Amino acid sequence: MAIDVNKVRHSAAHVMAEAVLHLYPGTQFAIGPAIEDGFYYDFLLPRAIAAEDLPGIEKEMRRIITGGHTFERKEISREEAKAIFADQPFKLELIDGLEDGTISIYTQDGFTDLCRGPHVENTREIRPDAFKLRAVAGAYWRGDEKRPMLTRIYAWAFESKAALEAHLKLLEEAEKRDNRKLGRELDLFSTHEEAGPGLIYWHPKGGRFRVALENWWRDEHYKNGYEILFTPHIGKSWLWETSGHLGFYKAGMYSPMKIDEDDYYIKPMNCPFHIMIYNTNNHSYRDLPLRWAELGTVYRYERSGTLHGLMRVRGFTQDDAHIICTPDQIEGEIAEVLRFSLFMHKTLGFKEIKAYLATKPSNPEDSVGAPEMWSTALESLRKAVDKEGLAYEIDEGGGAFYGPKIDLKVKDAIGREWQLTTIQFDFNEPERFDMTYVDADGQRKRPYMVHRALLGSIERFFGVYLEHTAGAFPVWLMPDQAAVIPVGADFVDYAKQVTAKLKSAGIRALPMLSDERMNAKIRDAQNQKIPYMLIVGQREKDESKVSVRFRDGRQENGVELGAFVSQVLDKIATKALDLH
């Protein structure tokens, strides 16, 4: 019989709460849910604890688990629940928030918790070698900064020792690939708390990657019928009032600045600016669809505690686009956007891609647009996903207030899933900005509008891709595509000649001409993930050749320089993922 790992995790959370109460009398306990890879529990402790206290809690948990205690469920009245938890204020608050009727509790080994369940039948179903307490953190009660700060203890928990060990190995690999670590080691980017957290400083090498990526992005957009726009970074409050952002998104926006007695906001989105351009002219149905794209830098407020390298930032550049079309064009446009997105992901080397189809929010007050528009839009999204043969899940109620959407998630090299593409309908802004076109019958009608980001943002995509490749990018995206290494000082001039020829052909070449030993230079180039190391000595100079050492350690000697240049240029032109 298959083990229900969520039952195991939730039951282990109860055991941890019991262990903490045993070790720290007077503790008040709050909530302890199962989460993706384990569980946590929040406590108000009589004294502060730290990571070094976790082994003691683990030991007590294992003692409880091996005792073989049954999880007993009981339904009681509100009054009985308040009596049981009379000395636990967080539980009393939870009880007050429950609907009228019976309340369920679970008891094991004399410890009782307020809980809907379900749980395993006996503590022995929690493997003592399949969980590990991992961290201590602070968490406000119910996420409210005005409420007490609690101590949150996180744990990993799995159905078996092997599953836990596999997870820990994955985490070890993820740590090696951490974008912040690789960013420092490869000199790609930095952040500076003293100058403003959540803002990315692109170093020259990171800049080369970004230019190569963005040039490709622009070329492909032009090939696919897009025009590229450039819009301001700030706009009057009227713009954001009209778009609805000040009503629906103000918490994510920064405070206004006063210019000529008017309030201006720095933009969190690009879409209102694209609409302003659309409304400068009258449009016929013959003009549509319009596909307008922008690499637009936006700024959104994120709490300082949530900021994380390239993955969660306050300033970022969206690979944004808006498609404005007639209702009868929408299905084809959605299909085309999805095809375009899959092309980009596959070119970049992502092989496993899954779609998530987000539907209308369940609360009518949380959405705009007529039901029939939602139905039409959702069906267009579904047909596009089916046409591409993509696996997908329904994200019930996950659509934004202004329309349903498709999210595409990719799996990276170590099996983690990342969201990149979003294809989002908008029934809100065309109405608010009175966008119209003249149809074939001469009547003014409302166009459909689709927001679309293929990579999500340049910063976050770079973080995902850096971790996916561990910094060993395909040659067309590498900041330095070839290192030229003379075997000694006598061959520096030839190394310079080789470097010049590579650069004139359009290959990003790095001459390594210092007095360091050749082997040290090779090691440094390999640490920098440079795809090709061209080693030149007497024989290479005499024959106008190079010896090519590949990033993976393979080597080919006596290669004609012209043949090497042609090979690399072909790899760049075809966006090849391999080096050989």
441, two tokens: 């019958």
Question: Which residue range is the domain that position 514 belongs to?
Answer: 475-573
Look at residue 1 and tell me whether its pLDDT is greater than 60.
Answer: no
> Which tops the pLDDT comparison, 199 or 331?
199
Task: Report the 10 Å Cβ neighbour count for 89.
Answer: 14
Residue of 119, 267, 405, 549 marked active site: 405
Residue of 132, 221, 291, 322 marked active site: 322
Segment 299-307 mean pLDDT: 89
Specify whether 451 is catalytic.
Answer: yes
Specify whether 325 is catalytic.
Answer: no
Give the whole-angstrom CA distance, residue 474 versus residue 483: 15
Residue-level pLDDT at 278 = 97
Residue-level pLDDT at 365 = 66
Residue-level pLDDT at 2 = 67
149-157 and 38-44: which strand pairing? antiparallel
Residues 197 and 339 in one domain: yes
In a domain, 399, yes or no: yes
Angle CA(226)–CA(229)–CA(234) in degrees, nearest 5? 145
pLDDT in tens, 448-490: 999 999 999 999 999 999 999 999 999 999 999 999 999 999 9
In a domain, 126, yes or no: yes
Task: Look up residue 192 and give its amino acid.
Answer: H
Segment 528-552 mean pLDDT: 94
Q: How confident is the model at residue 386 (pLDDT cuts 50, 70, 90)?
A: confident
The CATH number for 531's domain is: 3.40.50.800
The burial class, CB within 10 Å (0-12 / 13-18 / 19+), for 219 is exposed
Segment 273-298 mean pLDDT: 97
Residues 198 and 160 in one domain: no
Specify whether 318 is catalytic.
Answer: yes
Number of domains, the chain? 4
Which of 156, 173, 190 is the C-terminal boundary of a domain?
Answer: 173
pLDDT in tens, 315-365: 999 999 999 999 899 889 999 999 999 999 999 999 999 999 888 777 766
Please provide the DSSP assignment of 94-156 as one string. Answer: HHHTSPSS-EEEEEETTEEEE------SBGGGS-TTSEEEEEEEEEEGGG-TTSPEEEEEEEE
Specify whether 271 is catalytic.
Answer: yes
Which of 425, 452, 469 is the C-terminal boundary of a domain?
Answer: 469
Look at residue 373 and tell me whether its pLDDT is greater than 80.
Answer: no
Residues 513 and 501 in one domain: yes
Residue-level pLDDT at 426 = 84
Residues 312 and 447 in one domain: yes
Residue-level pLDDT at 141 = 94
Specify whether 115 is catalytic.
Answer: no
> Which tops the pLDDT comparison, 399 or 235?
235
Residue of 14, 291, 451, 521 marked active site: 451
Residues 265 and 277 in one domain: no
In a domain, 578, yes or no: no
Task: Look up residue 120 and give its amino acid.
Answer: V
218, two tokens: 């622009």
Residue of 208, 271, 314, 521 marked active site: 271
In a domain, 509, yes or no: yes
Q: What percent of the chain has pLDDT over 70?
A: 98
Residue-level pLDDT at 173 = 92
Task: Find the length of the chain.
Answer: 580
The CATH number for 192's domain is: 3.30.930.10
Residue of 274, 300, 541, 549 marked active site: 300
Residues 400 and 307 in one domain: yes
Residues 299 and 342 in one domain: yes
Average pLDDT of the residues of the chain = 93
List all residues 6 or more positions away from 369 whose beta carbon is below 8 Å from its beta carbon: 402, 403, 427, 428
In a domain, 579, yes or no: no
pLDDT in tens, 401-445: 677 888 999 999 999 999 999 998 887 889 999 999 999 999 999
Residues 140 and 236 in one domain: no
In a domain, 323, yes or no: yes
In a domain, 580, yes or no: no
pLDDT in tens, 95-144: 998 887 789 999 999 999 999 989 999 999 999 999 999 999 999 999 88
Residues 115 and 256 in one domain: no
Q: How confident is the model at residue 240 (pLDDT cuts 50, 70, 90)?
A: very high
**Axis crossing angle, helix 561-573 with helix 492-504, rounded to the nearest 10:** 40
Residues 103 and 59 in one domain: yes
Residues 221 and 238 in one domain: no
Residues 49 and 198 in one domain: no
Residue of 88, 318, 481, 567 marked active site: 318
pLDDT in tens, 69-100: 999 999 999 999 999 999 999 999 999 988 87
In a domain, 56, yes or no: yes
Look at residue 366 and tell me whether its pLDDT is greater than 70.
Answer: no
Residue of 42, 113, 320, 407 marked active site: 320
